[in-house]
Amino acid sequence: MSGADRLSIRAAALALDDAAAGRDKPDTKRDVFADLGSPVSPLRLRPGGAAATPSSSSSSAGSAKSPALCNAGAGVGRGGGGGRGSHSGELVAEGNPPRPPGHRRSGSGPLIFSGGSSSAGSGGGGGGCGGGSTASSPLTNALPTGNICPSGRVASAAPAPPRRARPDVLGSGTGHYGHGSIMRGGGGMTPPRSSIDASPYHGSYSRSPAPQGSSGGLQEVTRAGNEWYKKGHYGEALRHYDQAVALCPDSAACRSNRAAALIGLGRLAEALRECEEAIRRDPASGRAHSRLAALCLRFGMVERAREHFMLAGQVNQSDPAEFQRLQEVERHLGRCMDARKTGDWKSALREADAAIANGADSSQLLLALRSEALLRLNKLEEADSTITSLSKLDIASLSSMSTKLSGMVADSYVHVVEAQVNMAFGRFDIAVTMAEKARVIDPGNTEVGRITNNIRLVAQARGQGNELFKAGKFAEASLAYGEGLKYEPSNPVLYCNRAACWSKLGRWMKAVEDCNEALKVHPGYTKALLRRAASYAKLERWADCVRDYEVLRKELPNDTEVAEALFHAQVALKTARGEEVANMKFGGEVETITSIEQLRDAIHSPGVSVVYFMATMNQQCQQITPSVDSLCSECPSVNFLKVNVDESPMVARAENVRIVPSFKIYKDGARMKEMICPSLHILRYSVKHYAVSSS
């Protein structure tokens, strides 16, 4: 190549750089292109001859954005034999859809292209163009290639001087063909701070372009999904984001949006996997890193959360508030583990709750720590509900936790706690299964092995005791339950079962003692409370008996056996105190009152009395009377009285009743409540409230 040719090529490259940077205005010679009506954007060449993705630019003829370029069709700069002898000025944008045959860029002028020299660019079959002349392209799919000089002449095809490569980022321009105008240097674009991406291309560039013809549909379904998301309709948003992912599976933004909808639906494990997939396809996606960090925080994976928060921060997507929550979770988790080591279960519970409140609400480890603390504090109902919520978490497919507690692998510890809580509630088969899972995960841990063996032995002792009890061998059964208590000294089920054996053997004090031990561990244990109340009755400890039955009446308001037992215990207690019990009755029909004296005697009898003032032809009375009869059966310890105001007007006037239906509730002669035309709900609640509170 001669020196003149080299100077010509360098001048052409410099002219391209100036035009791309917007430093020069079009001169008179450049206005030739405006006359031709072709919105040709100045183009940089990639080092080594490969073309860079064109940037968005306005031509001198208008302000429309430059379309994404497609591959030039066969014949431009190729030999007739089909070889890849493309000249160095050829532009390639892989994956962009080809323009339909006959499509012009704009205007009515001819397309300008260069074909290089005849020796380098043209071959047999007339595939190239003559050296340096301008002409309309004879190919329907060909796009301009080569370097266009400010002078209007076509320069010889040659590689441009190497330039520092900058990433290409898809922008949100409106005049695009396919997938948005292309912005140079991704550092200048920062995605909006929102829970969803306004465009499937914001924030990162897609290494693989969208499928042909999918851009319009992709933007439409993404826009629709965003609208549904903003309204809180996450199911509809997910449906549209699914379509967006199907149209452009390599878009990190589409997958990040889908993860946001899954989070809204509570499908956290799926959302985490979707974020991981987005990062796999685009490791520079700050939004995906930030969203994945927040999910890891919710799962209690503090190390992974910190890693992704740092990666998101490198691309200005890290949320300082989220990072502060991560630090809070780490601090409370560390304190919780320290409290567990020293057996300070109140502090362990407090720190676990604080960590969960700061965002780690789906952490297996923290929920297990909370459940164990509640178990040790004898709050079994809460411990069981916590374990139940843990088992509902959809995290089976997530990676296991590497954290250790007192040398125990965290996953193994979770199963150990599950086993212990199930043991406390008598679900021995489930407890054994969970303990075996813990042993498989951490087979070398001595604590796990000891706990597993103990649970297995306790389950065997309980099974043996049950068989002996069914066979009527109550003494032997009590020994079997006692054997199980050697391995699990605080198991309330074994204590309660042994109390049943003592009851059958007539050893009422032993039964009370074992029930006390069971209720100490599990205060809400209904069976233990029933057995202790029955034992108190046998021991004629009526005050204690009434107290237990009153608690049971609140827990079992519809249990007629408990109601009757409470009534008889109340009668026995009043008798023991020397009080009048002649008028006390249990159950029966609603008693009709016809005189003031009869009413006075009834409401002054021990216990609770409900007086129902009604009229035969009143419509509201006709509707509520069946419910009064039903309440009489449900609350047999309550005296139900009925006054027909038409038949006994003197009684109604004495009680100052002017509107029916009206109700008055008395307790030991004192009026407690009066209701005029109450709803059925209020009537039922009031009667049951005073029924269980009577003594």
Q: Of 537, 540, 478, nearest to 504 (Cα)?
A: 478
What average pLDDT does the structure give for the chain?
74
Rounded Cα distance, 324 and 533, in Å: 53
**In the structure, what pLDDT confidence band is assigned to residue 595 with cuts at 50, 70 and 90?**
very high
Three-state DSSP state, 298 = helix
- Return the CATH class of domain 591-693: alpha beta
Find out whether the peptide bond into 110 is cis, omega within 30 degrees of 0.
no
Superfamily (CATH) of domain 190-318 = Tetratricopeptide repeat domain (1.25.40.10)
Q: Check pLDDT > 60 for residue 385.
A: yes
- Tell me the per-residue pLDDT of 104-140, one tens digit each, with 9 for 90 and over: 444 444 433 333 433 333 344 443 433 444 444 444 4
Q: Given this model, what pLDDT does residue 319 score?
A: 74
Q: Which residue has the higher pLDDT, 84 or 444?
A: 444
Q: Which residue has the higher pLDDT, 543 or 144?
A: 543
Q: Check pLDDT > 70 for residue 461.
A: yes
pLDDT, mean of residues 302-306: 89
Rounded Cα distance, 393 and 536, in Å: 44
Q: Given this model, what pLDDT does residue 315 score?
A: 64
- Tell me the per-residue pLDDT of 311-354, one tens digit each, with 9 for 90 and over: 887 766 667 888 889 999 999 999 999 999 999 999 999 999 99
Q: Given this model, what pLDDT does residue 410 score?
A: 85
pLDDT, mean of residues 386-409: 69
- Tell me the per-residue pLDDT of 158-214, one tens digit each, with 9 for 90 and over: 455 555 444 433 333 333 333 333 333 333 333 333 456 555 544 444 444 444 445
Q: Check pLDDT > 80 for residue 36.
A: no
**In the structure, what pLDDT confidence band is assigned to residue 662 with cuts at 50, 70 and 90?**
very high
Q: Which residue has the higher pLDDT, 233 or 30?
A: 233
Read off the pTM.
Answer: 0.59
**In the structure, what pLDDT confidence band is assigned to residue 574 with cuts at 50, 70 and 90?**
confident
pLDDT, mean of residues 398-424: 79
Q: Given this model, what pLDDT does residue 403 score?
A: 63
| Cα-trace Rg, the chain | 42
- Three-state SS letters, 124-146: CCCCCCCCCCCCCCCCCCCCCCC
Please say whether the beta carbons of 227 and 236 come within 8 A: no
Pull the structure tokens for residue 377: 């504090």
pLDDT, mean of residues 651-655: 92
Residue extents of the structural domains in the chain: 1-174, 190-318, 591-693
What angle do helix axes 492-504 and 474-487 make, rounded to 10 degrees? 160
Of 56-70, 160-174, 438-452, 465-479, where does the model show the most confidence? 465-479
Q: Given this model, what pLDDT does residue 668 score?
A: 82
Contacts of 6 (CB under 8 A, 6+ apart): none
What is the CA angle 315-321-325, rounded to 5?
115
Q: Check pLDDT > 70 for residue 143.
A: no
**In the structure, what pLDDT confidence band is assigned to residue 585 with cuts at 50, 70 and 90?**
low
Q: Which residue has the higher pLDDT, 489 or 23?
A: 489
Pull the structure tokens for residue 459: 């389950």
